[in-house]
């Protein structure tokens, strides 16, 4: 197999974790005889510092021409107070829109042996494996009008959803549930929001096409509580853009660390793959980042963009083997226990890719 991958290291710990993901892809390439061409391009604050917009035109063209895009992280406090279009995060929203990726898949699982790192009682999370399916290109992040009034004393954003946007993301959720435990929990705020009432109506209509999958509706506030009180009761969580953004970060805490979570944004051109965590500028350059989320995102890239499920399984098995052998970064290690740096953890995982049967 030959494939071109646009690699956007981004900001903060992004370059460190994308190096880890690239090493995993190199190991898979060597083992299975593939040839992956990775092209690094500036993005986010790294591009702003060079005098470019957060998504330079050359970077965008590289992404559009690639088979998939692998992103490290975006965000930098130095640009947090600037105009909206000059913030690093604006580049990410633009890239999602340009790629047309409307479905964001965020799996969250408790790896064996990590129950101690979870803030909940071990019996509540043992074997936890859920999938958040988040709508990515609609809702309040993209709705118009948005802005501030002339004296900047008032600001406004608009939440909008069209029925076809809800239908297509619901279809992704039900198709995913069919391959899992056949339960979709649709999250909304239908007791208050018109958008959520439309959401609930359309999701119910889509559910009629999947008689083998059970549907339940849940308000977002009670869902947030249930996610920490009974996380094992979920299989596939179907959410809008804003609710999914918040709940997936909560899921990171539930499984032990946000650094463990990968994501895949699909449905458009190629796909965009990135760890759920942010740029973490406080630990950037200290070799302290957890590379698991980025390496697992590379596995999702193989599975969803390149159809290479065997190779994706190899990476995920190597992650599990490393964790099962006690390999821990600082966010996963028990208090007072020794921890590995990003580089050592990467080597521990990548080295096990070649050892697996």
Which residue numbers are catalytic? 141, 189, 221, 245, 249
75: left (phi over 0), alpha (psi -120 to 50) or beta: left
On whether the CB atoms of residues 194 and 254 are closer than 8 A, the answer is no
3-class DSSP string for 118-176 = CCCCHHHHCCCEEEEEEECCCHHHCCCCCEECCCCCCEECCCCCCHHHHHHHHHHHHHH
Task: State how far the alpha carbon of 172 is from the alpha carbons of 46, 135, 267, in Å.
Answer: 34, 10, 9
C-alpha 2/C-alpha 312 separation (Å) is 16
166: left (phi over 0), alpha (psi -120 to 50) or beta: alpha
Indicate the SS3 state at residue 6. strand
């092209």: which residue's tokens? 39
Joined together, the tokens standing for residue 306 give 């390149």
Q: Work out whether strand 183-188 and strand 236-239 pair parallel, antiparallel, or are unpaired.
A: parallel
Joined together, the tokens standing for residue 50 give 């060079």
Which is nearest to 215 in space by CA: 198, 202, 232? 202
């Amino acid at each position: 197999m030959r494939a071109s991958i646009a690699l956007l290291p981004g900001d903060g710990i992004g370059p460190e974790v994308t190096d880890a993901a690239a090493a995993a892809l190199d190991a898979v390439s060597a083992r299975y005889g593939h040839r992956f061409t990775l092209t690094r391009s500036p993005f986010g604050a790294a591009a702003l510092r060079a005098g470019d917009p957060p998504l330079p035109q050359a970077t965008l063209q590289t992404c559009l021409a690639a088979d998939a895009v692998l992103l490290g992280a975006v965000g930098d406090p130095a640009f947090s107070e600037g105009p909206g279009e000059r913030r690093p995060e604006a580049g990410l929203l633009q890239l999602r829109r340009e790629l047309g990726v409307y479905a964001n898949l965020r799996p969250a699982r408790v790896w064996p042996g990590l129950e101690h790192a979870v803030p909940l009682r071990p019996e509540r999370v043992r074997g936890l494996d859920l999938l958040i399916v988040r709508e990515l290109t609609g809702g309040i992040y993209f709705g118009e009008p948005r802005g501030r009034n002339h004296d900047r004393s008032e600001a406004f954003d608009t939440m909008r959803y069209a029925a076809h946007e809800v239908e297509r993301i619901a279809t992704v959720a039900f198709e995913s549930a069919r391959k899992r435990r056949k339960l979709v929990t649709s999250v909304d705020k239908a007791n208050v929001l018109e958008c959520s009432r439309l959401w609930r109506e359309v999701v119910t209509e889509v559910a009629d096409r999947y008689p083998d999958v059970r549907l339940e509706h849940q308000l977002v506030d009670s869902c947030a509580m249930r996610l920490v009180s009974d996380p094992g009761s979920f299989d596939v969580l179907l959410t809008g853009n804003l609710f999914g953004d918040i709940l997936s970060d909560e899921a990171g805490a539930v499984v032990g660390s946000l650094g463990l979570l990968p994501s895949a944004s699909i449905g458009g051109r190629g796909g965009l793959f990135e760890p759920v965590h942010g740029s973490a500028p406080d630990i950037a350059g200290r070799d302290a980042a957890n590379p698991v989320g980025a390496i697992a995102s590379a596995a999702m890239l193989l599975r969803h963009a390149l159809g290479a499920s065997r190779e994706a399984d190899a990476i995920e098995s190597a992650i599990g083997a490393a964790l099962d052998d006690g390999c821990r970064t600082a966010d996963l290690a028990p208090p007072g226990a020794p921890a590995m740096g990003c580089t050592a953890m990467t080597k521990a995982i990548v080295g096990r890719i070649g050892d697996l049967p």
